[in-house]
Chain A
Amino acid sequence: MPRRDDIESILLIGSGPIVIGQACEFDYSGTQACRVLRQEGYRVILANSNPATIMTDPEFADATYVEPLDVDILTQIIEREHPDAVLPTLGGQTALNLAMALHARGVIGVPGTPEMIGANAEAIATAEDREQFKIAMQEIGLSVPASGIAHNMDEAREVIQRIGLPVVIRPAFILGGKGTGIASTRDELERAAQYGLDASPISEILLERSIAGWKEFELEVMRDRADNCVVVCSIENLDPMGVHTGDSITVAPAQTLSDVEYQLMRDAAFACIRRVGVETGGSNVQFALNPANGDMVIIEMNPRVSRSSALASKATGFPIAKIAARLAVGYTLDEIPNDITKKTPASFEPVIDYVVTKVPRWAFEKFPGTKGVLGTSMQSVGEAMAIGRTFPESLQKALRSLEHGRRGLNCDPAEALFDEMTDEELVTCAAIATPDRPFQLEAALRRGITIERLYEATRVDPWFLDQISQIIDERAHLAAVGIAALSRADWRRAKRLGFADAQLAWLWGVDEDQVRATRSAHGVVATFKTVDTCAAEFEAATPYHYSTYEDDDEVVASSKPKVIILGSGPNRIGQGIEFDYCCVHAAFALHEAGFETIMVNCNPETVSTDYDTSDRLYFEPITYEDVLNVIEVERRSGDLRGVVVSLGGQTPLKLAGLLSPELVLGTSAASIDLAEDRDRWNDLCARLEIPQPAGGTASTAEQALAIVERIGYPALVRPSYVLGGRAMEIVYDDDSLRAAMSELAGFGTLGREGGLSAERPVLVDRFLEDATEVDVDAIRDRTGDVLIGAVMEHVEEAGVHSGDSACAIPPYSLSAETIAVIEGHTRAIADALEVIGLVNVQYAVKGNQVFVIEANPRASRTVPFVAKATGVPLVKAAARVMVGATLLELRDEGLLPEPVTGHVAVKEAVLPFNRFPDADSVLGPEMRSTGEVMGIDRTFGLAFAKSQMAAGDRLPTGGMVFLSVADRDKETAIGAAHKFTDLGFTIAATAGTAEFLEGHGVPVATVVAKLGEATGVDAVDLIASGKVNLVINSPRGRGARADGAHIRAAAEQHSIPCLTTAAAGVAAAEGMADWARHELRVRTLQEYHRGATDQLELPL
């Protein structure tokens, strides 16, 4: 059944900002789908609010709407574009939920409206509605855990009467397990059930008899419209049931299933996808298995491409999203060729001859107050995947890929953490799932605690524990023999178990280079094998490699000049999809310029690890050793011109100094170092006569105190060589300064990110209060020509991490003179640093004075936003500049259009506080946002309103605004409050704020009491009552956790928009004012970039 000719245009709904549970995987799937559908000749209309995605690059769709993913907005898009079909299965839960809402409104999926392809409304409802799903599964003879549905607490209690405790609570229509919980006692039930009801958009929860401790498996299944079904990949979770699969260490293929069991599971998965009625595309089906007797229950199915399908695609080389898109438009599996073998069809089941391990990365350290315990609600912010020939090898590679300061499964400085625990304590700790669990398991086994005892405590399968024991046995042997006496066979065994040279260096107390040299002298070097979907049964055409320690190497020589691009590793807060965007753009640009592009990365979610993105892909950790291996093999097989280290964030940048200087493309390692070395940087600024906040560097608390003696409080304390403001803090007194220094010293001993050491001292600067923060992205070429990408003005004042702050292009309050000064400084700094490529400079503007905060000669988080806002492909240009092109040449080539003006783009951060109910949602110098959205429109106000809507906070059009702000914010708040009053809002405020506002002529309708006061309604009560439509609450002074934290938590809990700075309040007021005068209208990015928006003018 070939391509459908009865449809011409297709609307693809993206997944919006990166949030916990929905990350780059949907950019990967959406990008694949856009490409495929356009190749097939369809007109592709794309809606996605996330500017950092590749899919929203204007060349990937015919009409790209970077607009809020909201039912009203999508309805407008549909009315404007009249697509024939809507494809909702490639944009995660967000797209699925939106499609269901559009269907409910009669906008799609009913006669006379666009058809839903991939999955129809009935199939989505069957899979997503817990009760319908269970009934459907029982109909086809599959077991499901005993359960019941509740819409309120009374119903929840009734269900428990019937099925008993413990139970898992799962809200309907949620993503990433938000709101799920486990209850073993009546008290826990009361809390967890209410939390679940609140999290479900339809206030519905499933209470399910807990099967915690059972083994968990997933199958990635595809079906075409001729009813052919295949399993792409089986996945076994190392963590048993009870830990969300997104937070589990997962392994592909399944390791401990016999064929008899596996085939039953496969039959069940097919029966499931058929019964649910997913007509075409991929689904993820999850099973639990009782390890004692093999009883199997089906847990859930996702009728769409998912995080697991991205993993399965990368794990097998079978591009699920690409094939799902083709199936959606009518093809059958046997009509689609297998991309990798070219000769065989896609209607087969991949087999692999290696083991894939995925390990999540968490960010609990950024959310003080959270317990850091894993459960049924996903909390990880990213993941790394590694390929090895065996499980121990892939596990150790995955752990070092995480870049959490670990070199593998222990055998590094951080393992000391467990030294002081008793056996009992260690086993007890390991029994609770936390990010430390794999390390605790190793430490426990290394002490001789038996596999049986650990299995009883943790339910981690004995097979996995025994595999870990093999690593331990080898370590004992390596330690006993020592580096000098090691035989070739010993070296080979060690490397085959995944030991990094860095681990061995620590074990023997020698230098890592010495380990490498000694090992190489024994002839034990990395070999590169190929991911080919078929375990070598057929010849593979796609060069997708991983390293291991075997006999031979499969990398083929080539004649083109080659460039290696180092990726950014697992997503983390501060380093995410933006850097993947940059690496992908470099791959595209350099390929077009005639280079063979070679990508190195270990993040399975990304577009960069799609084997189609670059000419050659190495799925490898971004560490010194692993990168050197790739460099060596590429040097052996052709003309390697250099390595791009400046587009993947700090991860590759940290390696710059370790590589041969002639290999580092663009800005030299020396310049990178100069920007990070505080003293030399200060000299440079002094020489350029660019003012900086006073400050200095400190390796000890005493040094820090001495600096503050000179510069005064408040002071900003930040480690060097980190991204996302890791451990950055504003301190107001000696005690907090000492505390901050001692925390950083602790990181240092454990080798953690941001750790303090003599080589990496801490920066202590005077903090400029109430300054406006400004970011600039620019490119400088080898001739000294500088292109200013954009000057961005932050909405929140300096002190809020730039990644958490909203920012606007063009600046909305800076004077032309100030902007000129900023541009001038940027040029001077780029020149002085001898930047070749991108540079990001941050400024604080106080009054009319411009202070430079820092400069980073690398791609910044804002680069994709700048490109989307201005239409200038910054990274493509920068990549070319790094390999020698000049800006002039690029202008001649037409690669550098003039930036478009006439509209305003606002980037807003998206924060994960709903995942961490115990953490305070106030913004500060430590970045905590997971993603971003862009609002784009004719005015700042409208763009800001759109950005808030896209970030999930629809600004209210009327009602009550609650204000409670710190003293320093009160002046700013007056302006906002006046605007709100003018718009017809009533004002509520805490006593202090109310008094101040009324003193300045703002009528305050409701004055609330202090929390806990006996009389009157307090802020939390007021918010809980549902009367408040917008909360503006800024913290008092040093992040006080008293009233403010409770107010913000209440707003979070009741899903009321909450702004935590007065400046954002002013911006919101402006947005609401503009919105009151004009409807929000949608435009394509293509229209904005053409400057075609003038014809669509709204009168202002």
Chain B
Amino acid sequence: MKEALLVLADGTTFEGEAIGADAPDGISAGEVVFNTVLTGYQEVITDPSYAGQIVTFTYPHIGNYGVTDLDCESRRPFCRGVIVRDLARRRSNWRSDADLEAFMQAHGLAGIAGVDTRRLTRHIRDAGAMAGAFGIADERALKAAATAEPGTSGVDLVATVTTDQPYTVGDGPLRVVAYDFGIKRTILRHLGTLATVEVVPASTPAAEVLARDPQGVFLSNGPGDPEQVPYAVDAINGLLGEVPIFGICLGHQLLSLAIGAQTEKLAFGHHGGNHPVRRLSTGAVEITSQNHNFAVVADTLAGKAEMTHVNLNDGVCEGFRVLDAPAFSVQHHPEAGPGPHDASYLFGMFVELMHAS
């Protein structure tokens, strides 16, 4: 057991023990966020949307049911580190084929355990998401690393996670092109049952996509600030009206920018599996999986799109439909992975939209 420290950019420190891989110089740095899911740590850790971030799990016992390849949301973890209260010493579940710690070591992911994660969460809640650094290095080195960490604003994190080559998945009857801004495998599994999906790099221009003659285009989730991905916004502009579009999370934010709306950064974002979202057309409430720090400014949609979903906790825009083109998007994650399945009907709506066009 190696003692370790977590130091936030504002100087707040937390004691713990090093877990997972050894970080270079004993330091891992990134933007510290928290996630409140009770299950689904592996999906969270391997979700490319966490690129640049250190994930704090608010649930104290992490690793209980081990890991399995089946639950990986991408080829490897893209987050910068993991903060837990207690890492399971022994896993127990028939599905698992390795321990979480072994998985972290295999993927070079460092973590810190034993942390008062509730104190940390309350701190982030009150002070906002902030950079931090953890590891076995001394406090001063960690503080310096935390201060030097740029965070997720103003950097193009999509470029670090997207695929370099197009590839095809699924064997559904429709033809869909999916932009990979950091796409999760669960999304591909959903799309793959509906369509033959050609996954393309984030930088793929509209013309190239249209040349593939898709029946629909999917805009994936992904990390960071939508304003840092202008090439994607341009491409979406070229697709709007040409082909039905469905976006999730970052894809939703990028679609909003393409129609001239604006996005903003939330204080500490939505990261969890329990947010209530109202579907405005029916009034029904769905419990959703969420993972974003940026959000669409609802007022800026006026005249361009109709809001279709709203977060009941804080009123954040959770979904909209473009007025003059067959395009819609949601901020939350209907694919779940991890999280509830309440919003999975949205994939069906995408199919309907493709059939209608």
A: which residues have CB within 8 A of B?
226-228, 230, 234, 253-263, 266-267, 291-294, 332-334, 343-345, 347-355, 389-391, 451, 461-463, 466, 470, 489, 529, 534-539, 550-552, 554
Contacts and interface: CB of A to CB of B under 8 A. Distances in A.
Contacts of B59: 253, 351-353, 535
A258 B95 contact: yes
A226 B58 contact: no
Given A348-B313, A389-B60, A536-B58, A262 B39 contact: yes
Interface in B292-326: 312-313
Contacts of B338: 259, 263
A274 to B, nearest CB: 13
Contact of A334 (B70, B88, B275, B285): B285
Contact of A256 (B15, B34, B92, B122): B92
B116 interface: yes
A462 B92 contact: yes
A347 B285 contact: yes
B142 interface: no
Contacts of B91: 463
A332 B278 CA distance: 12
A390 to B, nearest CB: 5
A226 B283 contact: yes
B119 interface: yes
Nearest to A292: B94
Given A263-B339, A390-B86, A550-B118, A348 B65 contact: no
Interface string B49-75: 000000000111100110010110000
B260 interface: no
B1 to A, nearest CB: 9
Contacts of B275: 348
B85 interface: yes
B78 to A, nearest CB: 19
B38 A352 contact: yes
A348 B339 CA distance: 13
14 contacts: A226-B285, A258-B40, A260-B95, A261-B93, A262-B38, A263-B341, A267-B341, A345-B276, A351-B37, A353-B60, A389-B118, A391-B61, A462-B90, A535-B58
A258 B93 contact: yes
Contacts of A351: 36-38, 58-59, 272-274
Contacts of A343: 313
Contacts of A463: 64-65, 88, 90-92
Interface string B253-292: 0000000000000000000111110100001110100000
Contacts of B118: 353, 389, 529, 535-536, 550
B336 interface: yes
B107 interface: no
Interface in B83-129: 85-86, 88-96, 116-119, 121-122, 125
A348 B58 CA distance: 17
A190 B258 CA distance: 74
A159 to B, nearest CB: 31
B61 A390 contact: yes
Best-buried of B38, B89, B95 by chain A (most CB within 10 Å): B38
10 residue pairs, one from A and one from B, having the closest CB atoms: A259-B40, A259-B338, A466-B90, A463-B92, A535-B58, A259-B39, A551-B116, A349-B274, A550-B116, A536-B121
Contacts of A554: 122
Best-buried of A353, A391, A551 by chain B (most CB within 10 Å): A353
Given A390-B86, A535-B121, A259 B37 contact: yes
Contacts of A291: 94
B116 to A, nearest CB: 4
A349 B336 contact: no
Interface residues of B, number: 56
Interface string B192-205: 00000000000000
Given A348-B312, A355-B61, A466-B90, 11 more contacts: A230-B287, A258-B93, A260-B71, A262-B39, A263-B341, A334-B276, A353-B36, A353-B85, A389-B118, A390-B60, A535-B272
B347 interface: no
B251 to A, nearest CB: 22
Contacts of B85: 353, 389-390
B43 interface: yes
Interface of B: 3, 14-15, 34, 36-40, 42-43, 58-61, 64-65, 68, 70-71, 85-86, 88-96, 116-119, 121-122, 125, 272-276, 278, 283-285, 287, 312-313, 336-341
Contacts of B284: 226-228
A345 B58 contact: no
A529 to B, nearest CB: 6
A536 B14 contact: no
Contacts of B337: 259
Contact of B65 (A227, A258, A353, A538): A258
B285 A228 contact: yes
Contacts of B95: 258, 260-261, 294
A353 B37 CA distance: 10
Contacts of B341: 263, 266-267
Nearest to B271: A537
Contacts of A256: 64-65, 92-93
A294 B65 CA distance: 12
A149 to B, nearest CB: 32
Best-buried of A258, A291, A293 by chain B (most CB within 10 Å): A258
B336 A263 contact: yes
Nearest to B43: A259
Best-buried of B15, B37, B118 by chain A (most CB within 10 Å): B118
A550 B96 CA distance: 31
Nearest to B126: A539
A344 B36 CA distance: 16
B225 to A, nearest CB: 22
A348 B336 contact: no
A292 B92 CA distance: 11
Nearest to B287: A349
Nearest to B268: A537
A536 B272 CA distance: 12
Nearest to A338: B313
A292 B58 CA distance: 29
Contacts of B94: 291-294
A530 to B, nearest CB: 9
Contacts of A333: 285
A257 B39 contact: yes
A259 B312 contact: no
A350 B274 contact: yes
Given A256-B65, A351-B58, A470-B89, A334 B312 contact: yes
A257 B92 CA distance: 9
A258 B37 contact: no
A254 B61 CA distance: 11
Contacts of A227: 284
Contact of B125 (A262, A292, A536): A536
A537 B314 CA distance: 12
Contacts of B15: 551
B64 A255 contact: yes
Contact of B119 (A258, A390, A470, A551): A551
A333 B14 CA distance: 38
B36 A535 contact: yes
Given A258-B71, A462-B90, A263 B276 contact: no
Contacts of A461: 92
Contacts of B64: 255-256, 463
A1058 to B, nearest CB: 49
Best-buried of A262, A466, A470 by chain B (most CB within 10 Å): A262
Contacts of B42: 258
A389 B276 CA distance: 26
A537 B90 contact: no
Contacts of B3: 489
A294 B340 CA distance: 19
B89 to A, nearest CB: 6
Contact of A344 (B61, B90, B272, B312): B312
